[in-house]
Amino acid sequence: MTHAADPLSQPLALQCGQVLPNRLMRSALSEALGDRSSGAPTGKLLALYERWSLGGYGLVVTGNIMVDQRHRGEPGNVVVEDERHLPELSRWSKSFQDNTDAPLWAQINHPGRQAPTLINSAQPVAPSAVKANIAVIAGQPRELRPEEIEEILDRYATTAAVLETAGFNGVQLHAAHGYLITQFLSPLSNLRTDEWGGDSERRRRFLIEAVRRVRAKVSPSFGVGVKLNSADFQRGGFTEDESREVVRALADEAVDLVEISGGSYESPAMMGSAQAESTKAREAYFLDYAQTVREHAGSVPLAVTGGFRTKTAMAEAVASGACDIVGLGRPAITAPESGSALLQNTAQRLPSYQIQAGLRPVISKVTNVKQLDSMLDLQWHTQQMERIGRGKDPRLDRTWWQTMVKMLLTFGPAAFQRKRA
Ligand SMILES: Cc1cc2nc3c(=O)[nH]c(=O)nc-3n(C[C@H](O)[C@H](O)[C@H](O)COP(=O)(O)O)c2cc1C
């Protein structure tokens, strides 16, 4: 494929005026390299982004940044509640922007009921007091009061404004993977009958309101995007029809990009666990859905993330108009320079590592193996990011049980710190 004919090499202009130099997005990857107690970015995080700045991506979105220190999704999340970490945040954005014209967006998030009780002393909060079915991690949440909902919405806006001051080029609201915004969207977790629940329009109100409040606090040239689930892959949950309605509603807001993913930690479709073999063979997990949502998105560009591994599949997805941007997660960890490799045709297929637990007959007796697999897969990749942050290359022969031991060593002290707090 010649460079000129390569759909992935084409720039893309967003409504905010930013121009992405190509169609490859490094999707949000939670780095867990924030300071464990203060939530400030660390030197390792800066080193990791310096490496990714040379990766050739057209857009890079950071791992999810917490809007509330009391409710963290995992140990090592960066937290932005106010300007207290402004110097470190500014150094972080600069570590990336010094080497590339590609924009750097920050993903902002509240975990709601997916905040592990092991690491947070505050009780998790959620639209309704419905516990997530996630082994070990999820505790019993309490229902948010209306004034608390307002306060959280303002937090998204404040966090976005601070990130703009710190030099980031945009934010992406995390409305996927079972976190708070998804909890509002899903009828399984949102049983409210006030203005925040009761029907699909009121369930999506939290997301639309968060987008509006963020937009109102940042400049018009600052990017605002949303990562949305195609569905939550649970019976009685958020459906593709509802997701399409959300995309249609977002198209009326000043949104620059909608990224499609799916699933949650209860049903980890985003990591490829819910897909039929036929879909996996076609690589991209959510492309069929993206095709059906294209017209609802109007002029808002669509990104699709999950499963893309070969250049042929990525180029076809963009050339066919199914999506405008291809999102890459895990391959950008095992091969940090994936963007350049694809664009310069030095790689036609990205390396793919999907980690699974061994001893399955034994483990399946004590816990949900699919959830454990997705947790191990996440942790294996998280541990590789930490290596890159130390200036090393990923260690691809790391086994599932080494990953498990390190995971226990990570969560153990975090739980201990929580108890002391
Ligand atoms: C270690 C790790 C951390 C992740 N953190 C986030 C995150 O903070 N926010 C998010 O929206 N998705 C997150 N994801 C999901 C990815 O963005 C992506 O949707 C998923 O990995 C599927 O894409 P892939 O098949 O290209 O890896 C994470 C995935 C991994 C492996």
Report which protein residue has its CA nearest ligand 1's atom 21.
Answer: 329
Residue 305 Cα to ligand 1 midpoint, Å, equals 9
How many Cβ atoms sit within 10 Å of the Cβ of residue 54? 14
Q: From CA 407, how far away is CA 375, in angstroms rounded?
A: 9
Nearest Cα residue to 257 out of 58, 4, 45, 1: 58
From 271, 283, 375, 403, mutation site for ligand 1 pocket: most ligand atoms within 8 A of C-beta: 271
Contact 297, 291 (CB under 8 A): no
Ligand 1 atom at minimal distance to the Cα of residue 27: 17
**Residue 419: predicted pLDDT:** 47
Q: From CA 210, how far away is CA 216, in angstroms rounded?
A: 10
The answer to whether position 402 is within a domain reads no
The answer to whether position 401 is within a domain reads no
303 burial via Cβ count (<10 Å: 0-12, 13-18, 19+)? buried
Q: Write out the residue range of the structural domain in which residue 184 sits.
A: 7-355
Residue 343 Cα to ligand 1 midpoint, Å, equals 22
**Residue 136: predicted pLDDT:** 67
The answer to whether position 378 is within a domain reads no
Ligand 1 atom at minimal distance to the Cα of residue 63: 8
Residue 381 Cα to ligand 1 midpoint, Å, equals 9
Q: Is 123 helix (H, G, I), strand (E, B) or coil?
A: coil
CA angle 53, 389, 36 (to 5 degrees): 120
Phi, psi angle pair for 26, to nearest 5°: -85, 105
Ligand 1 atom at minimal distance to the Cα of residue 382: 1
Report which protein residue has its CA nearest ligand 1's atom 16.
Answer: 329
Ligand 1 atom at minimal distance to the Cα of residue 328: 26
CATH code of the domain in which 173 resides? 3.20.20.70
Ligand 1 atom at minimal distance to the Cα of residue 64: 8
Tell me the C-alpha to C-alpha distance, in Å, between residue 108 and each of 61, 175, 312, 349: 10, 9, 32, 31
Residue 27 Cα to ligand 1 midpoint, Å, equals 7
Residue 166 Cα to ligand 1 midpoint, Å, equals 24
From 25, 27, 259, 275, mutation site for ligand 1 pocket: most ligand atoms within 8 A of C-beta: 27
The answer to whether position 368 is within a domain reads no
Residue 336 Cα to ligand 1 midpoint, Å, equals 14
Q: From CA 290, how far away is CA 350, in angstroms rounded?
A: 22
Residue 2 Cα to ligand 1 midpoint, Å, equals 30
pTM of the predicted model as reported, rounded to 2 decimal places: 0.95
From 26, 305, 355, 406, mutation site for ligand 1 pocket: most ligand atoms within 8 A of C-beta: 305
The answer to whether position 72 is within a domain reads yes
Q: Which helix (H) or strand (E) holds 42?
A: none
Residue 146 Cα to ligand 1 midpoint, Å, equals 31
**Residue 410: predicted pLDDT:** 79
One digit per residue, the tens of pLDDT, for the chain of length 421 reads 445 589 999 999 999 999 999 999 999 999 999 999 999 999 999 999 999 999 999 999 999 999 999 999 999 999 999 999 999 999 999 999 999 999 999 999 999 999 999 899 999 999 999 999 887 678 999 999 999 999 999 999 999 999 999 999 999 999 999 999 999 999 999 999 999 999 999 999 999 999 999 999 999 999 999 999 998 888 889 999 999 999 999 999 999 999 999 888 777 888 887 665 555 556 899 999 999 999 999 999 999 999 999 999 999 999 999 999 999 999 999 999 999 999 999 999 999 888 887 777 777 777 777 788 888 999 999 999 999 999 999 999 999 889 989 888 877 766 656 644 4
The answer to whether position 221 is within a domain reads yes
Q: Which two tokens stand for residue 221?
A: 């040239």
Residues 6 or more apart from 386 whose CB is under 8 A from it? Answer: 32, 33, 44
Q: From CA 144, how far away is CA 177, in angstroms rounded?
A: 20
The answer to whether position 173 is within a domain reads yes
The answer to whether position 388 is within a domain reads no
**DSSP annotation of 213:** H
Question: What spatial distance separates the first Cα and last Cα of the chain, rounded to whole Å?
Answer: 57
Residue 28 Cα to ligand 1 midpoint, Å, equals 6
Percent helix, strand, coil in the chain, to 5, is: 40, 15, 45
**Residue 371: predicted pLDDT:** 80
Ligand 1: residues with CB < 6 A are 27-30, 63-64, 107, 174, 176-177, 227, 261, 270, 305-308, 328-331, 378, 381-382
Q: From CA 299, how far away is CA 153, in angstroms rounded?
A: 26
Please state the length of the chain: 421
**Residue 357: predicted pLDDT:** 79
Structural domain count of the chain:
1
**Residue 279: predicted pLDDT:** 56
Report which protein residue has its CA nearest ligand 1's atom 18.
Answer: 329
Residue 259 Cα to ligand 1 midpoint, Å, equals 12
Tell me the C-alpha to C-alpha distance, in Å, between residue 89 and each of 49, 228, 249, 390: 12, 26, 32, 19
**Residue 417: predicted pLDDT:** 62
Nearest Cα residue to 138 out of 161, 112, 162, 163: 112
Residue 73 Cα to ligand 1 midpoint, Å, equals 14
